[in-house]
Chain A
Amino acid sequence: MGKKKILVVDDEPEIVEMLRMCLETASYEVVAAYNGQEGIDKTKKERPDAIILDLMMPEKDGFVACRELKNDPECAHIPILVLTAISEHFAHTRYAKSMGLELEAEDYIDKPMDPNVLLERLAKLLKK
């Protein structure tokens, strides 16, 4: 069985590189995109097994990208793990509630995150 392919979408290259090191060390193949639109394009082109998606990005933000991907029958099945710096209490704020209800991502993690936790949660998503 080949390596699982993970698409990392984040406008901050340092984050992408850190995640690349973390994921490659854990034997994943990593593809990167640096904004929401590029994330959608790369999803269609690369057919990743899972997507790690930042929310606050230029061009097209993570909320919009997430919605578009989940509305696209070709991509809807790909699990999305949202990385958010929006708030430590992401799920509790009104902002997140209003936005998050529309956010059909499978899981989310707060920044800054523990790479071990990220790997665990990613593995769980891939098993489903």
Chain B
Amino acid sequence: MARSISKPVAELAHATEEISRGHLDYQVKIRSGDEFIALGLSFNKMAKKLQKALGEKDLINEDLKKSEEKYRTLFERVQHGIFISTREGKFIDCNQAMLDMLGYENKEEFLRLDITQDLYLNPKDREIFQSLIERDAFVKDFEVDFKRKDGEKITILLTAHTRRDEKGKIIGYEGLNSDITERRRLEENLRDLNARYLELLGFASHELKQPTAVLKGYLIMLRDETIGLLNTEKQRQAVNAMLRSVDKFTDMNNKYLRLSKIESGELEIVKKRFNLFQEVINPMRRRERIRLDKAKMRFNIENQEDFEKLEIMADSLLIEVVYANLVTNAIKYGKEGGEISLGFKENEKSLIFNVKNEGDGIPQDKLEVIFKKFVRLVDEKSPLKGSGLGLYNTKKITEIHDGRIWAESEEGKWVNFIFALPKD
């Protein structure tokens, strides 16, 4: 009896030993003594559970390790500079891109920098950054100039949020730096080019006034027969036709001359009361007919009866420029075979106009940025067409009318440009 007890007890003790050494697959071998058989089975069950649980933990550890590697790789390989810093202005960690961006080879050296003094081109900017981030808990697209190690200036777009301790006290910041030096340089170039283009346009328009003055002067003398009689009706017709052309040319030329001033802030509006439909919409429909047919598009005028009667107090030339831009865009980006709707409605304070086209539309997050200067959404259909100034100009024009312009869109379906002018 004693043996029949002591053997299973010894076996259990041995098993416990094995398991404690990590041999979780060890199973108790008990063949006698009912209680011991039951105990042995329970033991084995426990051992299996233990094995399973520990196995899972290993798997989780493995997953954690993999995931950490994944994020570490992302951290290191991403093209944006990522940093973690203290509130006082030291870096705690950063990735390779951050070092590359700022021209440091040695991370230790970088981590020793005084951010405010060594990194900010204008140390005051860090104060601004800090006041913003501490107020809102984050900062998005803060544009700032940094110094590279070689002293070169680099323009950064900084997006960051605060780091806090358990009590919620701010202990530092972490975030992302994007190098936009090249983008800014290109924009600068574009701005220069644009200024030169406008200057040239203004110059050309101005110069063209001289020959026009000569033409107009002689033609009027001919028409009025102050310098001799015209012999035939045909001569009179010819002189009158030339005069009309000179006047038309003068109008166009003045238009370009005025638009050339849109950038320098010298553009002033000349308001008059006019019928929008007759002076702007109809001529535009005639002008755009060929392009419209080519794209198999059609115009749809909403509540045409009221629209035709509408008289507005505005600068007709500039409103024409707004419509020309919006309709040109609608044709350029609209769906073949689609419809371009021109509408108008009014409320107490404003007259609201819209140009809507069917087509790919514009992503929600781009609806505002398209009105900025030199922004052109990437488009495979018509790459690099247009100046990137069209919508910017429409915005400027509506603003000098004390109005505003915005866009709405359902992606893949339509885009609607809406501008509102105050009632006089």
CA distance A79 to B227 in the complex (A): 27
How many chain-A residues does the 8 Å CB contact rule pick out?
Answer: 26
1/0 per residue A75-105: CB within 8 Å of B? 0000000010111110011110000000000
CA distance A45 to B408 in the complex (A): 70
CB closest chain-A residue, reference B268? A92
Chain B residues with CB under 8 Å of A26's CB are: 226
Q: Does A114 contact B (CB under 8 A)?
A: yes
User: Given A25-B227, A85-B206, A112-B246, are A18 and B218 neighbors across the interface (CB < 8 Å)?
Assistant: yes
Chain B residues with CB under 8 Å of A111's CB are: 209-210, 212-213
Binds A, one of B7-15, B170-178, B250-258, B281-289: B250-258
Q: Does B168 contact A (CB under 8 A)?
A: no
Residue pair A85, B270 in contact (C-beta under 8 Å): no
Q: Does A19 contact B (CB under 8 A)?
A: yes
Q: Does B229 contact A (CB under 8 A)?
A: no
- Which range contains the number of B residues in contact with the other chain? 20 to 34
CA distance A74 to B220 in the complex (A): 36
Residue pair B213, A15 in contact (C-beta under 8 Å): yes
Q: List A residues 1-50 near B (Cβ within 8 Å).
A: 12, 14-15, 18-19, 21-22, 25-26
Min CB–CB distance B202 → chain A (angstroms)? 10
Residue pair A88, B213 in contact (C-beta under 8 Å): no
Q: Does B74 contact A (CB under 8 A)?
A: no
Min CB–CB distance A112 → chain B (angstroms)? 4
Q: Does A113 contact B (CB under 8 A)?
A: yes
User: Given A25-B227, A88-B257, are A115 and B206 neighbors across the interface (CB < 8 Å)?
Assistant: no
Q: Does B182 contact A (CB under 8 A)?
A: no
CA distance A2 to B227 in the complex (A): 22
CB closest chain-A residue, reference B249? A112
User: Given A88-B258, A89-B270, are A115 and B217 neighbors across the interface (CB < 8 Å)?
Assistant: yes
Q: List B residues 189-210 near A (Cβ within 8 Å).
A: 206, 209-210
CB closest chain-B residue, reference A109? B213
Chain A residues with CB under 8 Å of B212's CB are: 111-112
Q: Does B59 contact A (CB under 8 A)?
A: no
CA distance A88 to B258 in the complex (A): 9
Q: Please indicate which of the listed interface residues B209, B211, B218, B224 has the most CB atoms of chain A within 10 Å of its own CB.
A: B209
Min CB–CB distance A43 → chain B (angstroms)? 23
Residue pair B216, A114 in contact (C-beta under 8 Å): yes
Residue pair B214, A15 in contact (C-beta under 8 Å): yes
Residue pair A14, B214 in contact (C-beta under 8 Å): yes
Q: Does B215 contact A (CB under 8 A)?
A: yes
Chain B residues with CB under 8 Å of A22's CB are: 217, 221, 226
CA distance A56 to B213 in the complex (A): 14
CA distance A42 to B180 in the complex (A): 60
CA distance A12 to B208 in the complex (A): 12
CA distance A112 to B216 in the complex (A): 7
Q: Does B348 contact A (CB under 8 A)?
A: no
Q: Does B402 contact A (CB under 8 A)?
A: no
CA distance A114 to B209 in the complex (A): 13
Chain A residues with CB under 8 Å of B209's CB are: 85, 111-112
CA distance A89 to B261 in the complex (A): 12
User: Given A22-B221, A112-B217, are A93 and B268 neighbors across the interface (CB < 8 Å)?
Assistant: yes
Min CB–CB distance B315 → chain A (angstroms)? 11
A sample of 26 cross-chain residue pairs with beta-carbon separation below 8 angstroms, ordered by A number, consists of A12-B210, A14-B210, A14-B211, A14-B214, A15-B214, A18-B214, A19-B217, A21-B221, A22-B217, A25-B226, A25-B227, A85-B206, A85-B210, A86-B206, A88-B258, A89-B270, A93-B266, A93-B268, A94-B266, A111-B210, A112-B213, A112-B250, A113-B216, A113-B217, A114-B216, A115-B221
A contact residues vs B (CB 8 Å cutoff): 12, 14-15, 18-19, 21-22, 25-26, 56, 83, 85-89, 92-95, 111-116
B contact residues vs A (CB 8 Å cutoff): 206, 209-218, 220-221, 224, 226-227, 246, 250, 254, 257-258, 261, 266, 268, 270
Given contacts A88-B257, A115-B226, 5 further A-B contacts (CB under 8 A): A15-B214, A111-B209, A112-B250, A114-B220, A116-B220
Closest 6 CB pairs of A and B: A112-B213, A85-B209, A112-B216, A18-B217, A111-B213, A112-B212
